[in-house]
Amino acid sequence: MPLIYDEKKQRCNIMIFDHEKAVDATRRIVYVGKSRRFDLETESIITGKGRSHPIFMFVDGRGGYICEVRYGGASANALQRGLWTHTKNALAYFDSLTT
């Protein structure tokens, strides 16, 4: 349940991730290795500026981002491990408790 703070408007938005909707919409789980990234336009893994640690990315039927599971080694901090989502990239899977 993320709390998004908009500093310009000085307001908070509390959001809930719709887990059931995300599970139903998942059509593909993509492994993205170290030093690679997933290109949402081509729906393929490309080299270049990439990750420090690998992830499994969950993608919907339109190739849209839902969430990811991050795996990090001993050098990874808590934000580099576990279930993660970029809220702005997965807005279809969030409901706002505030408006």
Question: pLDDT tens across 10-31, in order?
Answer: 888 888 899 999 999 999 999 9
Please give the pLDDT value at position 99. Answer: 64
CA atoms of 37 and 48, how far apart (whole Å)? 8
Residue 61, pLDDT score: 92
**Burial (Cβ within 10 Å: 0-12, 13-18, ≥19) of residue 71:** middle
Whole-prediction pTM: 0.79
**Encoded tokens for 37:** 């990234």
Tell me what pLDDT residue 75 has. 74
Q: What is the pLDDT of residue 88?
A: 84
Is 71 within 8 Å of 54 (Cβ atoms)?
A: yes
In the predicted structure, residue 56 carries a pLDDT above the cut 90: yes
The mean pLDDT value of the chain amounts to: 85
Which H, E and C letters describe 43-77, residue by residue?
CEEEECCCCCCCEEEEEECCCCEEEEEECCCCCCC
pLDDT at 78 over 80: no
